[in-house]
């Protein structure tokens, strides 16, 4: 490993580059050489349609995975929430960074906005999960689709498309837009997407075992990994991606168990389908799977079928 340069594949947006440089820094702190390889994905190119219209499977990962497959890169760095539920037989997630605060926020360039359940504001988001939750919690708001990287979306807002953007706090904080946050959304009603706030490291299953171990030792946070793998078990059972209104969050309790909540935000703004389990850490993936099964049995299967149609 002394002379091996670990090639890190990443998207080109500023936030993706922040994540990739963060991983590169962690590797270098552990005396490994690393370099970035910049790749453009389908999700970066198609900005005139919502994610649900272009399909969620691999929309931000397909081109990166092709480079993993042919050896152009060793690892790919992703926002964990962008990862499809199943990676297939060729790829695996080998590490997860320590999780940032994972709640959603409203950001705006406007001052003095009144934000409450009766506010008639215009909210920008491209997430079907967020749209469904907003229709329930902000019934008087108008919701508009907005795509692009964080800087592009902020410019669209400033150009008049919307009053506020609904975004993940983690990305806002990493891009140093904290001063634009005008409202923080509670986790109990706006439970985030699977993996939100975490950076995931993907590799081909054929990657050299010594490289995998080096990456994992330098990057992986075991407490975060436990939680996100439980959340991904939920998503995998739903057979979902970022084009369905699914949410799941696993957190550690004071007595070292894991509390995991998951379900579906019903698109028509009706009450969410939501289940919570508190389990020993080694049971969190089983709990995630069970929550998904109960969600499907409680009307979730019909909701997902309707969305696919």
- The backbone torsions φ and ψ at residue 97, rounded to the nearest 5 degrees and listed phi first, read -75, 160
For residue 36, give both structure tokens.
Answer: 């970035």
For residue 31, give both structure tokens.
Answer: 């005396």
Q: Going by C-beta distance under 8 Å and a sequence separation of 6 or more, which residues neighbour residue 242?
A: 51, 56, 59, 81, 82, 127, 193
Give the catalytic positions in this structure. Answer: 82
Distance from C-alpha of 97 to C-alpha of 223, rounded to nearest angstrom: 10
For residue 149, give both structure tokens.
Answer: 């990287």
10 Å CB burial of residue 170 (0-12, 13-18, 19+) is buried
**Within a 13 Å sphere around the CA of 143, how many CA atoms are in the beta-carbon half?**
21
């Amino acid at each position: 490993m002394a002379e091996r340069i670990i090639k890190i594949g990443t998207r080109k947006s500023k936030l993706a580059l922040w994540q990739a440089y963060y991983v590169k820094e962690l590797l270098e702190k552990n005396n490994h050489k690393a370099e970035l390889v910049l790749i453009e994905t389908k999700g970066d190119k198609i900005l005139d349609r919502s994610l649900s219209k272009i399909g969620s499977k691999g929309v931000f990962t397909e081109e990166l995975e092709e480079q993993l497959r042919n050896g152009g890169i060793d690892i790919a760095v992703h926002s964990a929430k962008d990862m499809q539920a199943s990676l297939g037989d060729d790829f695996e997630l080998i590490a997860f960074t320590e999780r940032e605060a994972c709640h959603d926020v409203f950001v705006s360039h406007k001052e003095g906005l009144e934000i409450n359940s009766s506010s008639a504001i215009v909210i920008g988001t491209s997430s079907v999960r967020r749209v469904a939750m907003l229709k329930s919690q902000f019934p008087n708001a108008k919701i508009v689709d907005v795509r692009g990287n964080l800087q592009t979306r902020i410019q669209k807002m400033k150009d008049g498309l919307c009053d506020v953007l609904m975004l993940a706090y983690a990305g806002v904080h990493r891009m140093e837009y904290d001063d634009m946050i005008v409202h923080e959304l509670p986790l109990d009603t706006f439970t985030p997407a699977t993996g939100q706030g975490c950076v995931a490291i993907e590799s081909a299953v054929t990657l050299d075992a010594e490289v995998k171990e080096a990456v994992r030792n330098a990057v992986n946070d075991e407490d975060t990994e436990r939680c996100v793998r439980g959340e991904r078990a939920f998503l995998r059972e739903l057979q979902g991606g970022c084009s369905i209104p699914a949410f799941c969050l696993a957190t550690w309790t004071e007595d070292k168990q894991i509390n995991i909540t998951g379900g579906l935000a019903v698109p028509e703004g009706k009450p969410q389908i939501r289940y919570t389990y508190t389990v020993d850490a080694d049971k969190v993936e089983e709990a995630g799977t069970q929550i998904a099964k109960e969600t499907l049995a409680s009307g979730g299967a019909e909701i997902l079928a309707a969305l696919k149609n």
